[in-house]
Amino acid sequence: MTGESSKDERQPLLSDQERARIREEMQYALVVMHESRPPDKPKSLIDKLLAYLSNGFVLLIVGALISSVMVPQFQRAYDDRKQQLNLMHECFGEFLLYSNSIWQEYYTILPLTQELEIDKPVYNEYLAKIAQVKLKRYDAFAKVQALAVVFRQNSQQKSPVESALKTYAIKLNTASAAVDRWLTRLYCTPVNREESPCETFDPSFDAFGEFEKIKELVIKTGNEESENVATLMVQQINYFNKGGTHAFK
Amino acid sequence: MRSSKVSIVAVAFVLVSVSTAFPNGINPPRPSGASAVTTVCKDEQNNVKEEIYRTQIKYGNKRTNKIESRIGATAEQLPLSGIKSITLGESAAHSDGFVKAALVRSDDQEEKSVLVKVKRGDRKLRLSGFRRDGVAVTIDLMTCKSIEFFPGTAGPKDSGPPPMKH
């Protein structure tokens, strides 16, 4: 009895035919599911790159590259620019000293306008005073000239600042030469002396009238001409400071 | 009293007011005696005898930039730069050192008869200065029949002297 009942339990509940049918239905359902799913989109280049970069090792390499190559490069470029800007400022400062020297010369000889003539000790005294002013100017000019190279766009071509500086220097030298000539003529031209201490002199020299001309020249050079160059320099510095190149026009 | 002070300040302000923001220097005065005068001494035939730059009047070792003239009882010390011409009317000075002359001032075109001093004591007044080339020259005032005065140093031809060689 017991042997019969266990034999029945081992018998399949479904017939083979049913099993085959169920199997076919399942297969059909799988095919339908697969067919009904939307097709996978192809990955874009960015997606691929991001996927690639999200890799830890790749991230490590990229980070190392940035910190060892690009950061120093950017830092160097920044430092260079800062240095150039500092040199531009220094050039401007020296130019102000340089341009101011003509006023110093003018004011040095001013007391002599009240003299009709001067003797040798006075001439030598003023000559020494003017020589000091001139030496300081030459020093400032040498610095300005050297520093003005920083305004160049390339090393070969002179910048507008350098050209303006050269034109200005010629005008300033003209004014300075007029001061020098005036002092010499005041010394050489006798008024109350019997004769001139110099080998030759200009009897037509009018000390006060000539000083008035020098004043006009100094005022023009010291004001208008200086302002033109200073304005150009400041514009260049400003332009460069805002991220522009030297090629300001 | 107060209003006069205010007006003085206002006048002073107008005098020093300027229209420029730039440095404008200082305006010192022209010192006395700084105005050079060029004279032309002419003889009786009106020929130029001497052209003297930076002319001064010299007597003995002394120098002056003024000529003494007299009209009646009024005596004047005329600066050379204030005279246009003097034409001497006599060939010898009076005992007081004056001679008759016709004088024209720079600011007055009218010719006036005056007495001009050409002698101080026993010293003759002389025109002293330089030729265009810088050579010192001195000439007795009385040797000129007429003297023309030109303010500045340009001279009558306005050509100016040769440039100084340095």
Per residue, what are the HEC states of chain A? CHHHHHHHHCCCCCCHHHHHHHHHHHHHHHHHHHHHCCCCCCCCHHHHHHHHHCCHHHHHHHHHHHHHHHHHHHHHHHHHHHHHHHHHHHHHHHHHHHHHHHHHHHHHHHHHHHCCCCCHHHHHHHHHHHHHHHHHHHHHHHHHHHHHHHHCCCCCCCCHHHHHHHHHHHHHHHHHHHHHHHHHHHHHCCCCCCCCCCCCCCCCCCHHHHHHHHHHHHHHHHHHHHHHHHHHHHHHHHHHHCCCCCCCC
pLDDT tier, A155 (very low <50, low <70, confident <90, very high otherwise): confident
| pLDDT at residue B161 in the model | 43
Percent over 70 (pLDDT), chain A: 93
- Please give the tally of structural domains in chain A: 1
Residue A144 lies in a domain: yes
Handedness of CA A104, A106, A111, A116 (dihedral sign): positive
| pLDDT at residue B145 in the model | 93
- Flag if A110 and B28 touch (Cβ within 8 Å): yes
Which A residues, 168 through 187, put their C-beta within 8 Å of a C-beta on chain B?
184-185
DSSP output for B26-76: --PPPPTT-S-EEEEEE-TT--EEEEEEEEEEEETTEEESEEEEEETTEEE
| pLDDT at residue A180 in the model | 95
| pLDDT at residue B83 in the model | 93
CA A180, A186, A191 angle in degrees (round to 5)?
170
Which residues of chain A have a CB within 8 Å of the CB of B25?
Answer: 106, 215, 218-219
pLDDT in tens, A192-249: 888 899 998 988 888 999 999 999 999 999 999 999 999 999 999 999 888 876 545 4
pLDDT in tens, B73-127: 899 999 998 999 999 998 888 888 999 999 999 888 899 999 999 998 888 999 9
- Flag if B134 and A192 touch (Cβ within 8 Å): no
Q: Count of alpha carbons within 13 Å of A39, Cβ hemisphere only? A: 3
pLDDT tier, B23 (very low <50, low <70, confident <90, very high otherwise): confident
Residue A149 lies in a domain: yes
Which residues of chain B have a CB within 8 Å of the CB of A123?
Answer: none
| pLDDT at residue A57 in the model | 85
Residue A61 lies in a domain: no
Which residues of chain A have a CB within 8 Å of the CB of B155?
Answer: 204
B102 strand-pairing partners: B87, B113
Which B residues, 49 through 88, put their C-beta within 8 Å of a C-beta on chain A?
53-54, 63
Place of tokens 């297969």: A27
- Flag if B164 and A202 touch (Cβ within 8 Å): yes
Q: What are the b/e assignments for A44-59, b being 16+ CB within 10 Å?
A: eeeeeeeeeeeeeeee
What is the model's pTM?
0.72
Residue A228 lies in a domain: yes
All residues at 6 or more sequence positions from A233 whose CB lies less than 8 Å from its CB, including other chains: A88, A91, A92, A95, A151, A161
pLDDT in tens, B35-55: 889 999 998 888 888 999 999
Compute the nearest-CA separation of B1 from chain A (Å): 36
Name the residue range of residue A134's domain: 83-241
| pLDDT at residue B17 in the model | 65
